[in-house]
Structure 1
């Protein structure tokens, strides 16, 4: 396994795993990390450790799953190395939730009075380098398909439990790959599968919109409920189950795409 980190920064914005791998995918993980660079409020957003360890700070288990899926699919992966609470790489630059002040019942003290200069620094040092690296990785490959890996929490505060074990999020603008993935997952009798659940997969300006929809690239966003991928063993098991299904779905999508 080869890892490449972003150069010339005290806190690299991303890491790339297996950049030369021959597979047809690029695996992305926007919410891989709960890290806060030391140049932001001394590396502390003012939240207690238990808050930084839950889904508001990152997608629990998603980084490990993304790495194992990339290995199974013999494809590169790129993972962000900063918390979504610092700045959310899965939001457009003009999205009001780009930097969250309040999330699932927790106020983020270091973000409460954030000014344009501070947001601009986070964009320039973290958000834009990450997205630039994603695009460079994609542009360097022939007809890549994007596999965006995320996880979701079993229950938000004050909300009903979420029954889905795995979810496929997609935009109405391009369902070429999502539909075959959903069809195959639907044949798995032991799974409760979310189709654009627990939330919609279309968000203008998000990572899929930016790197896939605007460029016509095949794409699918897969989310696992985070209690199911909490350990390396769980991540290995799910990756082993999902990788053949994803590979077969990509073949289906390309057959249909090419008539």
Structure 2
């Protein structure tokens, strides 16, 4: 039986959710862009409904996939509870993209001309609790944890260009598990799978992998899924189970190499 923990405050609400398995986990799954929720006091950041529901505000379908994976792998799941337009938990505080003023075609009025005090408040209320919760999970289960998987989704069309890649396998400082996954692609695979697409560490997307994975000697990988493949609970379940089988195969091949 899983246990849920919530972290936040009265104004911002639940900014990070942690779901613990009943057994000691060997895998931690992270979903930094799980939610498109914007705290009420931020007045929707000046965005209309279309922008708030778009891929700019979150990773549609990613949390559903991550939840399926958590169940199948008996993993611990850490997910953000607010939109990445409030603060992108996969970016360090010094990165301007942590609180973007524009995301693809969407202007973010509520992020323009933020004072240093207002910016620090976002860091303290969103990023710090998320970073602390994930760090506590890792250090509290360091004796059993072996792997961190971050789960994301991406839009099929970006700046008007169609993306053919369907699943991206990304790495940061430590490429080993991403390379293992590419070597262990199931024979039954029907997806267009590519290494370090549609993003790579050069795009600034490896913050969580490097800070919480590589620097804690955890094998780590980021999975990017094209969001038209995971629009419903049913397709999220199919994708989640597929990824679990694939990851388990990669873990098995790594164990054989070490034997």
The aligned counterpart of 2:136 is 136
The 8 Å contact of residues 186 and 246 in structure 2, kept in 1 or not, is answered as no
- Give how far 1:219 is off: 0.4
Q: Matched residue of 1:147: which SS? A: strand
* Matched length: 254
Instruction: Find the aligned partners of 2:213 and 2:100 in 1 and give their Cα distance.
Output: 25
The 8 Å contact of residues 21 and 74 in structure 2, kept in 1 or not, is answered as no
The aligned counterpart of 1:108 is 108
Q: Matched residue of 1:57: which SS? A: coil
Instruction: Find the aligned partners of 2:10 and 2:135 in 1 and give their Cα distance.
Output: 19
Q: 1:255 to 1:13 in 2, by over 3 A?
A: farther
| TM-score, normalization by structure 1 | 0.92
Matched, 1:166 2:167: yes
The aligned counterpart of 1:155 is 157
- Give how far 1:189 is off: 4.5
- Give how far 1:99 is off: 0.7
Instruction: Find the aligned partners of 1:197 and 1:78 in 2 and give their Cα distance.
Output: 24
Spell out, residue by residue over 1:177-228, the C-alpha distance to the aligned partner (whole angstroms, 9 max, x if none). 1112112226444221021011113538711111012222100111110011
Q: Matched residue of 2:241: which SS? A: helix
Instruction: Find the aligned partners of 1:132 and 1:69 in 2 and give their Cα distance.
Output: 23
The aligned counterpart of 1:244 is 245
Matched, 1:53 2:53: yes
Matched, 1:77 2:81: no
Q: 1:74 to 1:186 in 2, by over 3 A?
A: closer
Gaps of 5+ in 2: none
| TM-score, normalization by structure 2 | 0.92
Structure with the largest fraction of strand: 2
Instruction: Find the aligned partners of 1:211 and 1:255 in 2 and give their Cα distance.
Output: 26
The residue correspondences of 1:2-151 to structure 2 (distance < 5 A) are: 2-6=3-7, 8-10=9-11, 11-39=13-41, 41-42=42-43, 44-141=44-141, 142=143, 143-151=145-153
Structure with the largest fraction of helix: 2
The 8 Å contact of residues 28 and 148 in structure 2, kept in 1 or not, is answered as yes
